Structure formats: structure tokens, C-alpha cells
């Protein structure tokens, strides 16, 4: 029985490993640092995962895996389709097995000089530096050649997948500093664009490449409409094309570009199409007048109108005598215009519908004299006016009567006398806005709201004859001591090690019922931290933060005698110093029982840090976290990180995985601990697309080796 089970286990294992080996899931394998093996079928998405990372901070390109030094590309036997979109700039040789059926290079490696096609391959043929399918109806690519003047596609070809557009200069072999070179500088030094005197596509051609090289004459003999853009045509000095559908498509796009106000891209005089005939334009709909029906977004149907209300838009429109599908409408600023595209051009109809705008702040229909009297720069509002509309003005003096209860106006003046007994709020900014240097406010409620809005103003005076200063709580000024607590509710003496650029602390005062009456002033930064918030934000830029306090009571701020000083320290307890700017992203080890925060806050245990290019011992792989080394050499937390990983295993297979799949967060630490578990069978790995959500910024790729 045991023997039977043993043999059964051996057979199952053999079948399992055998099938795994036959159907290799890793897309690449590296051999001798110069050969890239393609081990499995590749899609566009596979190559996108391995693509170069573009750093948007300094516009430099950094390659995650050093593809540039690979000289040979070997497609392994068993692979039947490859989409290869990578910057293999040093590749000189390509080996194609007997199993390969399709091969697509969006950009053929310009340094490629030799293609070795297996003699047993029944699907492809190599002829005159070009790779075709066996019956020569499909052209996969042609090797670039600076000396070629005319590019003539063979008559049998129906599909053209790629044409050479660039080539690299000979000194590319001496390139060693590509990762630190600006991409534009690299293109100028090592890239040259090919330009042909003539490119000829045959009559049977149905599929055209994504990019057409620059040329003096582009000849398209096929009547099948190619999917070329106007920019492909722009790179050609002259275009001959039998397909009038393609030519009219270009002209139509050119017409729309002119309507949008873009510069002309297509020079119609340099395009010749023997089948092009302007008599094919449909003009049967043309007449002297048109009847327009507009249906608005709220369902209203308007007939023969030239304006619609503000805030509404046209959901659909019908023009009598013209099919709905032939009418296109475009909103340009606040005007709807209507167009009829036909054959090669766009006609504009003599119809316009304007969006009626709301009254602006300088409404010409209203004026100050409608609501009061202006004399010697003194505005006196009439006694019967209960509200002021959206008017703007500047005066020496403004008088608001008792009945006025609503102010939508914006007034600037030296002094304001407000006698209203129905205004509940009054502010220097926002609604009910009166900006003055001196206020006389008859009633208590608007007086108190105005005083509160002017808390930062030191030059404005406010007087209220009915204010009662005995309502001020003078006891709050005596013996009040603010108590600061961290995010865990632990009391702090404001000496702490900042883990991020901003630290949030909560302050309470014993005996004060509403803590929003407490104001904290940051003296060095000339700002106050608003009262009433649950946590106060401190910027850890290295400056000493001296804090002063005040209590808002009734109509004034009473200063508190107590003062505090925020003292920042490093992880080892030494003074923080200046320099929060981040120098580099690193990995650090988080021991069991610790969190990212606790290990950085504690100075007892040594902090193990690895920079990009370092070797990480295998025993530390299960508890790693991202951190940042600052200018003052301290280590701080990272925010929530997004990344993908390219890794090389012990057998030199290269693959890519994402944060959510392989780099599993340790469950015991919680789903948001930020602690990673790197598989111990990695040989080396690269962090790609490294981005931090808080704050949202990108970081340079990182590369690590795995040690014993």
C-alpha cells in the first residue's frame, strides 16, 4: 500500500512539474547578463508591465531592469506569439524558433543587425533584411538602414506591421550611463530619424503600421482606407492615395480643426487623389431659412429660439428638413452653433443659440440711487429698504437703516453705521460684506458676529452701545494650562520625534466646556491654529515653534499667560536640526511585536536600513517597510505606497508582480500596517512605479539583491 502511494506521488509530481516546465509562466529569463530569453507568449499588457518608468519630476527616464546592456534576444522553443515593446537599444541579434507564428515590435530595436530564423519554422521567412510570414502577405518588420532611399513594399504584402523610423549611431556600444541621462539628451546623441525619398505601399495592402517614417513622397496604391493620422501625412512632403475615403477623412478633420481654432496641419495642395470629387458633397439640405427645435436638459421644448436660460443646456436639437444624424452642435463659449459634415468638409448653418447669463455683479439694471442717496461720498440707504441686491461700491461713509435685514452687496468704506435690528450676522468677508475701518453697530448679535470675523484684524475698530463687557469670562484667563495629547491620547510635553512632515496633536483645557474657544498661536510662522478642531497640525520644518494661547470670550480674545515650545528630536534623542527634505527612499526592518511607528519612535533598538543597490539578508525579508532618509539623516515614515515589483528568481527567470498579489501584508499586523513580506526565493528585485499617495508624488525605482 505504501509503495502504491509512493509511486502515485512520484507520478503526480512528475506530471505537475513537467507541465509547469512545459508551460512556463515567467515571461523572461536572463542568461550571462547579455541574453534575454522570451519564455512564454507575450501580450501588450505583459510588456507594459515591464516598460520604462518615466520620472515626472525631472523628466528623466530610468529603466527598472537594465535592458540596455542585453545584446541578444532569444525566443525560446514553444513560444508562438510575441508582442515586444521594450527599449532593447543594445540588442544586435534575434533568434526565432520553429514554433513562433507572430512577432510584433511597436518599435524595432534600431541596433538590430542579425536575425536567426529556425529552418524548421513553417510560418515565417527571412528575406532581404525583412521578416515575413511564409506566403509573404504579412510584413512583420524591416531592419533599419540609413542608406536606403526608397522603401518599396513587395506587391504580395497585405499587412504591414512595422517600418523602421529610427536608428542608433555606432557609439551606442559605448553607452554606460543611460539610467542617469536625460531622455531628450539621449535622443539627440544616439538617435537619428530615417527619411526616405519615397515609400510605396502596394495595391493589396489592407493593414498599415502605427507609424509612417518621414519621406518626400508617400504612395498608397491600395483603395483600402489606411488608419493613418494627419501627423503621419504631415511628415510626408507629398501624398498620392487612391482611397478618397481616407483623403476626405483627413480633410474633414482639418475642417474641424479650423473650427476649433487650431493651426492648419494638412496642406491640401500636397495631396493628390484621382478618385477625389467635390461633387460628392451633399448640398440637398441647403435653403434660405431653417426651423430649429431645441430640447433642454429639464425637458423643455423650445421652437425657433435664439436664447436659452442660464444654467440649462441643449440635450438634443432637430432642424426641419435635415436628418438628425447629419446635424452636429458645438458649444463655443456661451453660444451653440450647428454644423453639417459632408464628404470632405463641414458647413456651418446660419443658426445660433445663446445662453442667457445671470446678472453680473456690475448689473446695469440696478444702481445705488434705487435704494438710497449718495451725497459727498456718503451712502444713506432709505428707511423702507429691507434688502440690498448684489451691488458694488466704495464710499467715505455708509448708513444702514433699521429695516434692512439682508445684504448681498459688497461695500468698501472708511466708516459704517449699522442701525439694523434684524441682521443676525455681519461679516467683513463673504455674504453681508461691508469692509470698513470703523464700525458702529447698534445691535448685539451682528456686533458679536462681526467681532468674531475680525479676530485677526488689529487695525479695525468696532463699537456697539449695547455691548455688555461684563459677559466676558475673566476667570478663563487665570490658571488655565493647555494639555497636549498625541494621536493615541497620550499626554505629551511637546518634545517628540516627528514621523511625517506634519504632526497632528490635540489640545484640551480643564474647566473649559467648549474647546473651540481656545486659540493657539504659532509665533514663528505668524499664524493661529483654529479653535474647535479635533487636532492641530504642526509643520515639522525644523524651526522652533513657540506657542501662545488666547481664549475667546464674548467679544474679545483674552491672552493666557501660559506658553509652550515645541522641541523636535531625532530617533536617537538628539536635537532635530533643520532639513526635512527627503533625500532617498529606503527599506527598513520592523521586528516582531513592533509597528512602523513604534520602531521609528523608539531609540532603543538599532534600525536596519537598506538603500537601493544594497543586499538584504534573507532572514529580514518577511518584515520590511518603506521609509525616507531626510537631509538631517533621520528616517521617517512613508505614506501609503503603490508599487509593482520586477523580480529575478534563483533560476534567472524574470517576472513582474503587484503590491496586492505577491507582497502580502502580514495579517497579524493588520491590513494597513505597511509591513511587506518579500518571497525568500527572490534572487534580486526592483521596485517600479513607486508612488506615495499622501503626499501624492513619484519616487525613483529601487533595486535590491537578496543575500544568505
d(CA 407, CA 404): 8
3-state secondary structure at position 8: helix
Phi first, then psi: give them for residue 240, nearest 5 degrees.
Answer: -115, 125
Residue with the three cell numbers 491640401: 268
Surface-to-core class of residue 343, CB atoms within 10 Å of its CB (0-12 exposed, 13-18 middle, 19+ buried): middle
Biggest CA–CA distance in the chain, Å, is: 116
3-state secondary structure at position 441: strand
Q: Are 394 and 374 contacting, i.e. CB atoms less than 8 angstroms apart? A: no
Phi first, then psi: give them for residue 473, nearest 5 degrees.
Answer: -90, 90
d(CA 381, CA 350): 49
What is the distance, to the nearest Å, from the Cα of residue 663 to the centroid of all Cα atoms in its chain?
Answer: 24
CB within 8 Å of 643: residues ≥ 6 apart: 658, 659, 687, 688, 689, 690, 691
CB within 8 Å of 592: residues ≥ 6 apart: 623
d(CA 689, CA 602): 31
Q: Are 208 and 160 contacting, i.e. CB atoms less than 8 angstroms apart? A: yes
Question: Is the CATH number of domain 474-568 3.40.720?
Answer: no
In the chain, where the domains are located: 22-222, 289-355, 372-467, 474-568, 582-706
Q: How many CB atoms lie within 10 A of CB 467?
A: 19
Q: State the alpha helices, DSSP H only, in 237-322.
A: 244-260
Per the omega criterion (within 30 degrees of 0), is the bond before 695 cis? Answer: yes
* Burial letters 470-490, b for 16+ CB under 10 A, else e: eebeeebeeebebebeeeeee
What is the distance, to the nearest Å, from the Cα of residue 490 to the centroid of all Cα atoms in its chain?
Answer: 38
For 633, the grid coordinates are 539623516
Phi first, then psi: give them for residue 251, nearest 5 degrees.
Answer: -65, -35
Surface-to-core class of residue 498, CB atoms within 10 Å of its CB (0-12 exposed, 13-18 middle, 19+ buried): buried
What pLDDT shows up at residue 650? 87
pTM of the model: 0.69
Q: State the alpha helices, DSSP H only, in 191-329.
A: 230-234, 244-260
H helix or E strand, kind and range, residue 46 = helix 44-49
For 379, the grid coordinates are 451712502
d(CA 129, CA 159): 17
d(CA 617, CA 41): 34
Residue from 295, 287, 281 nearest 351 by CA: 287
What pLDDT shows up at residue 13? 44
Mean pLDDT by 10 residues, the chain (708 residues): 48 39 69 88 78 47 66 94 82 94 86 92 94 95 81 94 79 56 61 87 90 90 78 83 88 85 76 91 86 88 85 87 87 88 90 72 69 93 88 91 85 93 69 82 89 80 93 80 84 88 84 72 74 75 80 86 87 82 90 88 85 94 90 85 84 79 61 82 86 67 89
What pLDDT shows up at residue 185? 63
Measured CA distances, 151 to 88, 124, 214 (Å): 24, 21, 11
* Burial letters 76-109, b for 16+ CB under 10 A, else e: beebeebbbbbebbbbbebbbbebbeebbbebbb
d(CA 431, CA 332): 32
For 376, the grid coordinates are 459727498
3-state secondary structure at position 409: coil
CB within 8 Å of 437: residues ≥ 6 apart: 414, 415, 459, 460, 461
Residue from 89, 56, 59 nearest 182 by CA: 59
Amino acid at each position: 500500500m505504501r509503495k502504491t502511494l509512493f509511486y502515485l506521488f512520484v507520478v503526480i509530481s512528475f506530471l505537475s512539474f513537467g507541465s509547469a516546465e512545459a508551460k512556463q509562466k515567467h515571461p523572461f529569463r536572463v542568461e550571462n547578463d547579455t541574453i534575454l530569453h522570451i519564455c512564454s507568449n507575450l501580450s501588450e499588457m505583459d510588456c507594459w508591465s515591464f516598460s520604462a518608468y518615466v520620472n515626472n519630476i525631472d523628466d528623466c527616464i530610468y529603466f527598472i531592469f537594465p535592458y540596455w546592456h542585453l545584446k541578444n534576444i532569444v525566443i525560446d522553443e514553444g513560444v508562438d506569439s510575441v508582442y515586444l515593446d521594450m527599449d532593447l537599444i543594445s540588442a544586435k541579434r534575434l533568434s526565432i524558433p520553429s514554433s513562433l507564428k507572430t512577432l510584433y515590435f511597436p518599435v524595432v530595436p534600431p541596433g538590430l543587425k542579425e536575425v536567426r530564423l529556425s529552418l524548421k519554422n513553417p510560418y515565417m521567412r527571412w528575406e532581404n533584411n525583412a521578416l515575413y510570414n511564409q506566403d509573404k502577405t504579412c510584413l512583420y518588420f524591416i531592419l533599419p538602414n540609413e542608406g536606403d532611399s526608397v522603401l518599396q513594399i513587395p506587391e504580395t504584402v497585405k499587412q504591414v506591421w512595422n517600418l523602421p523610423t529610427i536608428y542608433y549611431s555606432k557609439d551606442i556600444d559605448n553607452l554606460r550611463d543611460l539610467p542617469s541621462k536625460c531622455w531628450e539628451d539621449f535622443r539627440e546623441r544616439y538617435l537619428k530619424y530615417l527619411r526616405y525619398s519615397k515609400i510605396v505601399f502596394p495595391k493589396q495592402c489592407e493593414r498599415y503600421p502605427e507609424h509612417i517614417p518621414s519621406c518626400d513622397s508617400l504612395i498608397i496604391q491600395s483603395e483600402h482606407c489606411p488608419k493613418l493620422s494627419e501627423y503621419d501625412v504631415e511628415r510626408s512632403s507629398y501624398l498620392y492615395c487612391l482611397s478618397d475615403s481616407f483623403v476626405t477623412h483627413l480633410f474633414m478633420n482639418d475642417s474641424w480643426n479650423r473650427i476649433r481654432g487650431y493651426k492648419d496641419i494638412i496642406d491640401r495642395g500636397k495631396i493628390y487623389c484621382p478618385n477625389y470629387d467635390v461633387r460628392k458633397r451633399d448640398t440637398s439640405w441647403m435653403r434660405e431659412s431653417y426651423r430649429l427645435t431645441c430640447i433642454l436638459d429639464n425637458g423643455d421644448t423650445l421652437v425657433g429660439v435664439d436664447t436659452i436660460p442660464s444654467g440649462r443646456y441643449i440635450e438634443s436639437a432637430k432642424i426641419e428638413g435635415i436628418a438628425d444624424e447629419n446635424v452636429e452642435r458645438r458649444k463655443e463659449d456661451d453660444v451653440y452653433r450647428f454644423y453639417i459634415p459632408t464628404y470632405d468638409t463641414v458647413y456651418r448653418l446660419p443658426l445660433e443659440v445663446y445662453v442667457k447669463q445671470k446678472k453680473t455683479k456690475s448689473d446695469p439694471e440696478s444702481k445705488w440711487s434705487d435704494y438710497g442717496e449718495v451725497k459727498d461720498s456718503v451712502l444713506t440707504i432709505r428707511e423702507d429698504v429691507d434688502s440690498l441686491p448684489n451691488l458694488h461700491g466704495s464710499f467715505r461713509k455708509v448708513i444702514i437703516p433699521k429695516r434692512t435685514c439682508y445684504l448681498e452687496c459688497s461695500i468698501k468704506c472708511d466708516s459704517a453705521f449699522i442701525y439694523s435690528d434684524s441682521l443676525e450676522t455681519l461679516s467683513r468677508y463673504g455674504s453681508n460684506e461691508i469692509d470698513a475701518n470703523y464700525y458702529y453697530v447698534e445691535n448685539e448679535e451682528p456686533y458679536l458676529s462681526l467681532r468674531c470675523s475680525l479676530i485677526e484684524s488689529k487695525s479695525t475698530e468696532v463699537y456697539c452701545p449695547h455691548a455688555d463687557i461684563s459677559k466676558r469670562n475673566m476667570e478663563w484667563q487665570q490658571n488655565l494650562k493647555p494639555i497636549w495629547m498625541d494621536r493615541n491620547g497620550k499626554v505629551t510635553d511637546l518634545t517628540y520625534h516627528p514621523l511625517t512632515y506634519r504632526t497632528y496633536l490635540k489640545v484640551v483645557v480643564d474647566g473649559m466646556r467648549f474647546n473651540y474657544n481656545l486659540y493657539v498661536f504659532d509665533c514663528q510662522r505668524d499664524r493661529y491654529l483654529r479653535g474647535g478642531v479635533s487636532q492641530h497640525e504642526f509643520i515639522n520644518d525644523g524651526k522652533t515653534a513657540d506657542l501662545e494661547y488666547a481664549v475667546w470670550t464674548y467679544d474679545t480674545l483674552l491672552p493666557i499667560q501660559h506658553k509652550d515650545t515645541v522641541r523636535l528630536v531625532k530617533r536617537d534623542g538628539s536635537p532635530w536640526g533643520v532639513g526635512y527634505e527627503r533625500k532617498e527612499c529606503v527599506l527598513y526592518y520592523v521586528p516582531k511585536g513592533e509597528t512602523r511607528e513604534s520602531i521609528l519612535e523608539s531609540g532603543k533598538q538599532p534600525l536596519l536600513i537598506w538603500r537601493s543597490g544594497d543586499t538584504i539578508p534573507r532572514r529580514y525579508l518577511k518584515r520590511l517597510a518603506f521609509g525616507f532618509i531626510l537631509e538631517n539623516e533621520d528616517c521617517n515614515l512613508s505614506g501609503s505606497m503603490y508599487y509593482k515589483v520586477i523580480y529575478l528568481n534563483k533560476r534567472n527567470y524574470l517576472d513582474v508582480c503587484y503590491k496586492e498579489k505577491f507582497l502580502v501584508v502580514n495579517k497579524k499586523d493588520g491590513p494597513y500596517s505597511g509591513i511587506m513580506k518579500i518571497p525568500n526565493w527572490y534572487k534580486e528585485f526592483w521596485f517600479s512605479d513607486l508612488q506615495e499617495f499622501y503626499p501624492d508624488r513619484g519616487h525613483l525605482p529601487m533595486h535590491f539583491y537578496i543575500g544568505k
